[in-house]
């Protein structure tokens, strides 16, 4: 296991390096931040001074080298807007998104496992058909649409939920809903099909022939095998939450990493963009390693392979 | 009430499907007593497993429906049990093992926990169950049972997995053991060991065994009585020796007749003078074992093929026999150009087949075609039969002008015993045997000199198998074809091959004329293979029947 962890860490570090290169140069394709921060009629001398202060007068490759050197000291640079260290911004916003994703994922998985298992119990039955229809709809609706319609219905018409902010638990309902509906729809389908496969498997038949109780057949024999594909897809969906977070946080004014990222891109605040992307990437790498570990706990074939 | 331990009477089971009601079995009656072995023999679709599933309550209802008959076990009506009563019988008084032990064992639990489970669910305390499970593993001859108790199914060999299944099945000392094709997925030498173990366990415990199989060899090895089933009905039943020697029904006779290896050896001509088509010289294939993130070679290597040499002359059938892992698939892949060998040479009519010149190779390879084991997998389900058979002409341009494809497809279909009207149908509309005929027609499309049959009849029922071999024989006569006939068991090659090469661990351990191999095997492994054949086949080849 130690060997495996080391191997995965090295692979992740290589991917991270590629990501740094990509983000650094792509961010600079958006244009010169001086055009945004300084008034249009700013004299050239002041523009030059601004560029020199932030190192933008250097060739891009030199800027990149300097950035890398800073990174080695865990210095992600300062925000162009107010000089605060970029990392502080990111670390302040990160827990909000983490909590948002955690709730969305927990609700998704709980609903999906229960609904998918029950649907697979009687494939083609009434419950199965209704569950399939709803989950397919859920998996197909774009989340920005859910967000806008949610605000319209619950905040504007019914006036029961707030439109933005984080003050009370009520503030969390709409953003979590926007995040969980899509993954939940996808997961219901995955749970259903992997439970179906498990129910049809010879080992389930063998367990029944052995006189094992039906409840144990489902939860001991079928579910543990069915969990393997579910975990894979759930991991994917969790990693994809950042996409949803950008939309949900922007629409609901939620101070998470998604909103931070959008704001930073609007201002060409390079250091903050880079820091936000990298911290997110590291979180996703950790998530993936966690999933692999979970996988090897559940499946001995992975452990010994 | 009946006096038999287990009795099935007039059982009728049907399934409600979208296509309508399908009768799985009708009027099936049989009985089983303590200490005896009853075999249900039938080909695929005969309904041979249905009565066993009904006994164990394993038929999904719906879509299944038991519409008539009764099953009594020890005086108890098995079709009207509550779930709790059912659990008291399943695994405790009647146990069952299945065909594919890898699939039947839950991959995520240790074998020990699966054996103890079968005891714990019937009230044995866990510590006691654990002790007994280790003893059971020992009983079914798993070495180091204490240690292996904690291992997982994938860490066992195929034969060992079936032993583990057996250990779990006999844990509660059941009165009846139902074995549904228990050895079909295993190599012959392993099959012989499992059947022997079954008999020993039966002698010790006095349990009745219901053996469900498609394999007449297995039946003759273990059964006291036999039931022959076809299309959901019992064709014939009686004592084994009576059914074997004096079958009453034409279908039984046909089934017995179809079993390979019953017709002595292939009539042979002197082939010394004929030309050599294919020459394989010192062929080896090594696979390096890699490790680490950069997949560096460790210096260890797996020798899939080790110094293999053979020749094939015009019109000859060379049988290549080997169990799983013997290297026969690697050999086939190398001949087809799907694998590059590490060393050695393959010559077709004196020309190398291993040069890098793709255009020249394509021309040579045209003469060597292949028929694979599973026609369901080797025929593209979305292509019509016409497109499947014509595809080789689309690939090798200039062999046949497009205008003639239609007529030629019709001719080929007729040659393999199908109707030209079949050209517009799709593979799923055909039976297994018919699909294999389509695959043979495709192989014939380029008028090859050699056809490699890679387990081409292994997946087919015996009666279908016999028909396909008959077809291959006829095609050889009509077209002077040569065959490289790869198989995992000996009987199939016995009455078809002129010469046999026996492979083990990547090497050819023995080559010779078929008669010599079967009657005077020299290598110990060949002897072991021959001894592993069920008794009746051994007896038959000793009797040396005269070819009809």
Q: What are the extents of the domains in chain A?
A: 2-72, 87-304
Q: Which of B57, B89, B154 sits opposite A301 (nearest CB)?
A: B154
Q: Tell me if B458 is assigned to some domain.
A: yes
The pLDDT value recorded for residue B269 is 55
Q: Is residue B450 a contact partner of residue B481, using CB atoms and an 8 Å limit?
A: yes
Same domain membership, residue B163 and residue B31: yes
Q: Mean pLDDT in chain B?
A: 87
B289: domain CATH number? 3.40.50.300
Put simply, the chain B residues between 467 and 506 with a CB less than 8 A from any chain A CB are none
The per-residue pLDDT for B319 is 93
Model pLDDT for residues B181-209, shown as the tens digit of each residue: 888 878 888 888 889 999 999 999 999 99
B498 assigned to some structural domain: yes
Q: How far is B128 from chain A (nearest CA, A)?
A: 18
> Nearest C-alpha of chain B: how many angstroms from A301?
7
Predicted pLDDT of residue B413: 93
Whole-angstrom distance, CA of residue B47 vs CA of residue B115: 29
Both B119 and B239 in one domain: the answer is yes
Pick B106's closest partner by Cβ from A208, A221, A304: A221
Q: Which of B229, B258, B287 is the last residue of a domain?
A: B258
Query: Cβ A206–B154 below 8 Å, yes or no?
Result: no
Distance from CA of B146 to the nearest CA of A (A): 19
Inter-chain contact A225–B108, Cβ cutoff 8 Å?
Answer: yes
Helix, coil or strand: residue B390: helix
Cβ–Cβ of B152/A201 closer than 8 Å? no
Please, which residues have CB within 8 angstroms of residue B278's CB and are 6 or more apart in sequence? Answer: B310, B311, B312, B335, B346, B347, B348, B368, B450, B482, B484
Within a domain: B356: yes
Angle, helices B111-120 vs B158-169, to 10°: value is 20
Residue of chain B whose Cα is closest to the Cα of A200: B60
Residues B162 and B305 in one domain: no
Check B56 against A209: CB less than 8 A apart.
yes
DSSP-assigned states of every residue in A261-287 = HHHHHHTT-HHHHHHHHHHHHHHHHHH
Lowest mean pLDDT among A42-46, A131-135, B139-143, B541-545: B541-545
Q: Please indicate, yes or no, whether residues B182 and B310 belong to a single structural domain of this protein.
A: no
B84–A contact, CB cutoff 8 A: no
Say if residue B67 is in the same domain as residue B156.
yes
Q: What CATH number is given for A87-304 in this structure? A: 1.10.3720.10
CA distances from A123 to A220, A221, B105 (A): 20, 19, 24
Domain stop point among B258, B288, B307: B258
Other Cβ atoms within 10 Å of A305 Cβ, number: 8
Domain that holds residue B340: 276-367+448-543
Domains contained in chain B, number: 2
Within a domain: B425: no
Where chain B has pLDDT below 70, the residues are 1-2, 261-273, 289-299, 535-548
CB contact under 8 A, A210 and B154: no
For residues B133 and B254, membership in a common domain is answered with yes
Q: B49 — contact with chain A (CB < 8 Å)?
A: no
DSSP string, B35-90: T-EEEEEE-TTS-TTHHHHHHHT-S-TTTEEEEEEEEEETTEEGGG--HHHHHHHB
Give the tens place of pLDDT for each residue, B353-386: 888 788 888 888 889 999 998 888 889 999 999 9
If asked whether residues B97 and B171 sit together in one domain, one would say: yes
Cross-chain residue pair A214–B293, CB shorter than 8 Å: no
Residues in chain B with CB shorter than 8 Å from the CB of A213 are: 87, 121
Residue to mutate among A207, A208, A211, A298, with most B CBs inside 10 A, is A211
Beta strands B94-97; B176-180: pairing state: parallel
Sheet with B343-348, side-by-side order of all strands: B296-313, B276-291, B343-348, B351-352
Is residue B105, in this structure, part of any structural domain at all?
Answer: yes
Measured in angstroms, the CA of B113 and the nearest CA of chain A are apart by 12
Same domain, B204 and B87: yes
B455: which residues sit within 8 A by CB, 6+ positions away?
B372, B373, B486, B487, B488
Nearest by CB to B103, from A201, A212, A299: name it.
Answer: A201
- Specify the pLDDT at position B202: 93
- pLDDT, position B545: 44
Give the pLDDT of residue B544. Answer: 45
Task: Say which of A211, A300, A301 has its CB closest to residue B122.
Answer: A211
Tell me the count of A-B CB pairs closer than 8 A: 80
CA distances from A283 to A16, A94, A98, B15 (A): 11, 10, 10, 52
Question: Residue B267: its pLDDT value, please?
Answer: 56
**CB A139, CB A167: distance < 8 Å:** no
pLDDT of residue B449: 92
Chain A residues with CB inside 8 Å of B95's CB? 209-210
Q: Report, as an integer, the average pLDDT of A70-92.
A: 87
Tell me the average pLDDT across A138-162.
Answer: 87
Determine, yes or no, domain membership for B419. Answer: no
Q: Are residues B282 and B246 in the same domain?
A: no
CA distance A76 to chain B (A): 30
Q: Same domain, yes or no, for B163 and B117?
A: yes
């Amino acid at each position: 296991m130690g060997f495996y962890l080391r191997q995965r860490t090295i692979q992740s570090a290589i991917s991270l390096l590629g990501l740094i290169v990509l983000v650094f140069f792509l961010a600079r394709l958006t244009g010169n931040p001086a055009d945004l921060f300084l008034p249009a009629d700013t004299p050239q001398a002041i523009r030059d001074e601004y560029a020199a202060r932030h190192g933008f007068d250097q060739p891009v490759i030199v800027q990149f080298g300097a950035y890398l050197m800073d990174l080695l000291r865990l210095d992600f640079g300062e925000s162009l807007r107010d000089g605060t260290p970029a990392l502080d911004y990111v670390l302040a916003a990160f827990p909000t998104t983490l909590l948002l994703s955690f709730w969305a994922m927990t609700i998704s998985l709980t609903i999906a496992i229960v609904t998918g298992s029950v649907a697979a119990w009687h494939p083609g039955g009434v419950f199965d058909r209704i569950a399939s229809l709803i989950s397919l709809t859920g998996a197909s609706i774009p989340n920005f649409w859910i967000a806008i319609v949610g605000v319209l219905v619950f905040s504007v018409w019914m006036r029961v939920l707030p439109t933005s902010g984080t003050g009370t638990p009520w503030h969390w309902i709409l953003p979590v809903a926007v995040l969980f509906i899509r993954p939940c729809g996808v997961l219901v389908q995955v749970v259903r099909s992997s439970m179906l496969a498990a129910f049809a498997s010879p080992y389930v038949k063998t367990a029944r022939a052995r006189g094992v109780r039906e409840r144990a057949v489902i939860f001991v024999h079928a579910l543990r095998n069915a969990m393997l594909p579910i975990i894979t897809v759930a991991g994917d969906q969790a990693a994809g939450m950042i996409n949803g977070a950008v939309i949900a946080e922007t629409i609901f004014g939620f101070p998470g990493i998604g909103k931070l990222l959008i704001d930073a891109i609007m201002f060409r605040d390079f250091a903050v963009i880079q820091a936000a992307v990298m911290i997110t990437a590291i979180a996703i790498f950790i998530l993936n390693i966690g999933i692999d570990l979970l996988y090897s706990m559940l499946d001995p074939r992975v452990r010994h392979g | 009430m009946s006096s038999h331990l287990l009795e099935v009477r007039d059982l009728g089971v049907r399934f409600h499907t979208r296509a309508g009601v399908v009768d799985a079995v009708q009027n099936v009656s049989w009985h089983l007593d303590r200490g005896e072995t009853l075999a249900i023999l039938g080909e695929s679709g005969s309904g041979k497993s249905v009565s066993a599933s009904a006994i164990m309550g394993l038929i999904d209802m719906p879509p299944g429906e038991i519409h008539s008959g009764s099953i009594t076990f020890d005086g108890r009506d098995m079709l009207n049990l509550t779930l709790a009563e059912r659990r008291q019988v399943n695994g405790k008084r009647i146990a069952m093992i299945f065909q594919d032990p890898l699939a039947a064992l839950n991959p995520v639990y240790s074998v020990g926990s699966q054996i103890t489970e079968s005891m714990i669910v019937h009230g044995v305390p866990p510590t006691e169950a654990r002790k007994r499970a280790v003893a059971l593993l020992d009983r079914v001859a798993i070495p180091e049972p204490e240690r292996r108790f904690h291992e997982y199914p994938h860490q066992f060999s195929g034969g060992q997995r079936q032993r583990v299944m057996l250990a779990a099945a006999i844990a509660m000392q059941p009165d009846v053991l139902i074995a549904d094709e228990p050895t079909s997925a295993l190599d012959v030498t392993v099959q012989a060991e499992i059947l022997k173990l079954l008999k020993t366990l039966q002698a010790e415990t006095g349990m009745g065994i219901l053996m469900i199989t498609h394999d007449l060899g297995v039946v003759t090895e273990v059964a006291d009585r036999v039931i022959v089933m076809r299309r959901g009905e019992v064709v014939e039943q009686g004592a084994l020796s009576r059914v074997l020697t004096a079958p009453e029904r034409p279908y039984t006779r046909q089934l017995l007749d179809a079993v390979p290896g019953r017709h002595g050896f292939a009539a042979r001509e002197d082939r010394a003078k004929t030309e050599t088509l294919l020459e394989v010289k010192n062929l080896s294939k090594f696979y390096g074992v890699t490790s680490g993130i950069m997949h560096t070679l460790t210096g260890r290597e797996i020798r899939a093929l080790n110094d293999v040499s053979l020749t094939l002359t015009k019109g000859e059938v060379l049988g290549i026999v080997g169990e799983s892992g013997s290297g026969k698939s690697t050999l086939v892949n190398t001949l087809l150009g799907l694998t590059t060998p590490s060393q050695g040479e393959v010559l077709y009519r004196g020309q190398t087949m291993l040069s890098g010149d793709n255009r020249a190779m394509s021309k040579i390879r045209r003469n060597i075609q292949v028929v694979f084991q599973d026609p369901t997998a080797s025929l593209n389900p979305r292509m019509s039969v016409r497109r499947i058979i014509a595809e080789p002409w689309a690939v090798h341009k200039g062999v046949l002008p497009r205008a003639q494809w239609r007529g030629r497809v019709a001719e080929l279909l007729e040659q393999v015993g199908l109707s030209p009207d079949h050209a517009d149908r799709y593979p799923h509309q055909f039976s297994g045997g018919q699909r294999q005929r389509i695959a043979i027609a495709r192989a014939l499309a380029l008028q090859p000199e050699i056809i490699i049959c890679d387990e081409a009849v292994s997946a087919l029922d015996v009666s279908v198998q016999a028909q396909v071999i008959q077809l291959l024989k006829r095609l050889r006569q009509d077209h002077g074809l040569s065959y490289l006939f790869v198989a995992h068991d000996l009987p199939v090659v016995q009455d078809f091959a002129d010469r046999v090469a026996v492979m083990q661990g990547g090497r050819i351990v023995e080559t010779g004329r078929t008669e010599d191999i079967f009657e005077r095997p020299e290598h110990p492994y060949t002897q072991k293979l021959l001894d592993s054949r069920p008794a009746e086949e051994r007896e038959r080849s000793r009797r040396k029947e005269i070819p009809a």
